[in-house]
Amino acid sequence: MVGIFASHEAMVVALGVLAVGGLAFDLARIRMPWLNRLLVHWFAPLLKHEEDQQITGATYLAIAAFFAFLLFDQAVAASALLFLSLGDPVAALVGSRMPGPRIFAKSPGGTVAFVAVSLVIVAVLVGSGAVQYHWGLLIGAGIAGLVELTPLPLPLASRGDTRVLDDNLTIPLISGAVMQLLGV
C-alpha cells in the first residue's frame, strides 16, 4: 500500500483531493437525475442497490482514508485501511455463503473471516518490516471486525429510520482511533 511508503503529508494532500472530488462528484450525480441514471447504469456491478441515491462506499472510503492519515500515525492509518479493504470483502464472501444464525443481519462466520484476514495483514506488515510490532495492532484487528459486525446508527437519522453509518467510514476510523490510543 502506497500509504506505508509515501510521505505522510503527500498522503494527506492526495487523499484530501480525492475525498473532496469524490464527494463533489457523488453530490452532483445525486442532484442530476440524468447523470445519476447514466452512471448507475455503467457502474451497476460495482454499486450496492442503495447507492443509486446515496454517497457511494468508495467515496466514504476516500473520506475515511483522508481522516485516517490526517489524524493517525502512518502505520495506524495504513493498517486500519488494509483491515477494511481486504477484510470487508472476505467477510462479505464468507458471510453470504455461511448458513446459520445472523447478528445484525450478518454472519458471525464473516466476522471471524474479517478478523483472521486482519491478523494476517498484521503478520505481513510486521514480518515485512513495514510496521513495527505492537500488541495494539492485534486489538485494532479485533475492533475492526467488531465494527464490521455492529451497525452504528446514523446520528441524524429520524425515529424509525434504519440508516446506519457506512462501515467504509467507521471501520478505519474506529479501529485506527483505538490503535492510536493504544500507542501503536
C-alpha cell at 30: 445525486
- Domain residues for 109? 2-181
Please state, in angstroms and rounded to a whole number, the distance separating the CA atoms of residues 138 and 95: 22
The whole-number pLDDT of residue 172 equals 98
Q: What is the pLDDT of residues 24-38, one digit of tens each?
A: 998 998 899 888 888
Rounded distance, CA 180 to CA 16, Å? 21
The per-residue pLDDT for range 83-124, each reduced to its tens digit, is: 999 999 999 999 988 888 888 888 899 999 999 999 999 999
pLDDT in tens, 125-183: 999 999 999 999 999 999 999 999 998 876 665 556 667 789 999 999 999 999 999 99
Judge contact between 41 and 34, C-beta under 8 A.
no
Residue 104 buriedness (CB in 10 A; 0-12 / 13-18 / 19+): exposed
Domain count, the chain: 1
- The pLDDT value given to residue 102: 85
What pLDDT, on a 0 to 100 scale, did the predictor assign at position 49?
73
